[in-house]
């Protein structure tokens, strides 16, 4: 079946503008994760959704970042008033259910460039 998809693939924006990044997880996967990969760095956890539970927002770097997951499926990561340090690749992953054993399947990411 289809894997995790993300859109857009690339996004260029001007400093101060808002952006929305979309993630479509694998059908039936209840857990969804967002990570950020800055140039030359590993992946940094941002937020985690599991079913109808309150999301784990502990990785969000500032209140300019927010995310929602509608109907337990599609998720949108919103960055308000973008800054140049927000430039990174934003990766989404999903897994069948929570649990450390369950594999996280990653999407191809969205490369965000803030000018």
Partner 1 sequence: AQTVTQSQPEMSVQEAETVTLSCTYDTSESDYYLFWYKQPPSRQMILVIRQEAYKQQNATENRFSVNFQKAAKSFSLKISDSQLGDAAMYFCAYRSKSSGDKLTFGTGTRLAVRP
Cα gap 31→104, rounded to integer Å: 9
- What is the rounded radius of gyration, in angstroms, for the C-alpha atoms of the chain? 13
Could you tell me if 112 and 21 are in contact, meaning their C-beta atoms sit under 8 angstroms apart?
Answer: yes
Q: Which residues bind partner 1 (CB under 8 A)?
A: 31, 33, 35, 40-45, 48, 50, 56, 58-59, 89, 91, 93, 98-101, 103-104, 106-109, 111
DSSP state of 15: T
Residue 72 or 98: the one with the smaller Cβ distance to partner 1 is: 98
Beta carbon nearer to partner 1, 10 or 16: 10
| 35/65 with CB nearer partner 1 | 35
Residue 64 CB, shortest distance to partner 1, in Å, is 21
10 Å CB burial of residue 41 (0-12, 13-18, 19+) is: exposed
In the bound complex, what is the minimum distance in angstroms from residue 42's beta carbon to partner 1? 4
Output the CA angle 94-1-34, nearest 5 degrees.
15
Smallest separation (angstroms) from partner 1 to the CB of 53:
11
Residue number with CB closer to partner 1 (80 or 108)? 108
């Amino acid at each position: 079946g289809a894997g995790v998809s993300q859109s857009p693939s690339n996004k260029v924006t001007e400093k101060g503008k808002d952006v929305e990044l979309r993630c479509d997880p694998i059908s039936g996967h209840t857990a969804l994760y967002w990570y950020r990969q800055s140039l030359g760095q590993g992946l940094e956890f941002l937020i985690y959704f599991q079913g109808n539970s309150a999301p784990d927002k502990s990785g969000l770097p500032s209140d300019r970042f927010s995310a929602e997951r509608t109907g337990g499926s599609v998720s949108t990561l919103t960055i308000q008033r973008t800054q140049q340090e927000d430039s990174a690749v934003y990766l989404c992953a999903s897994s069948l259910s929570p649990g450390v054993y369950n594999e996280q399947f990653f999407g191809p990411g969205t490369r965000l460039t803030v000018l």
